[in-house]
């Protein structure tokens, strides 16, 4: 049985907005990773590990995994805690 993880990818540190942070990704785990003797890179002959599937909701990703008999691990996203700040707070302390 194949193993995969379902998650929402983190935004790039170069971004300040939350755009494209609503897509759920199903990513397969690499089977038997080996070290390339020439370059020293990690490699595998498993081409399925290169496949990332995008879904609009977690439920659709779980349904796809169940239909195709894929064992999944779900990583829930951490929500940002927004702290409201005021310019006047700099002078009141």
Task: Say how far apart CA 15 and CA 13 lie, in whole Å.
Answer: 5
- The structure tokens listed for 13 are 């540190």
Q: pLDDT (tens digit, 9 = 90+) per residue, 33-91? A: 788 888 888 887 778 878 899 999 999 999 999 999 999 999 998 877 888 888 888 88
Instruction: From the options 1.10.150, 3.20.20, 3.30.160, 1.10.3470, give the CATH code of 2-12+20-92.
Output: 3.30.160
- Which spans in 9-78 are helix H? 58-67
* Domain residue extents for the chain: 2-12+20-92
What is the pLDDT at residue 85? Answer: 84
């Amino acid at each position: 049985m194949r193993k995969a993880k379902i998650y929402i990818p983190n935004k790039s540190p170069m971004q300040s907005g939350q755009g494209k942070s609503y897509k759920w990704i199903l990513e397969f785990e690499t089977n038997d990773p080996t070290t390339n003797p020439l370059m020293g890179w990690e490699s595998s002959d498993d081409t399925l590990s290169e496949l990332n599937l995008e879904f609009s909701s977690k439920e659709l990703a779980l349904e796809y995994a169940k239909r195709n008999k894929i064992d999944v691990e779900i990583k829930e996203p951490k929500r940002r805690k927004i702290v409201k700040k005021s310019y006047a707070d700099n002078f009141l302390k």
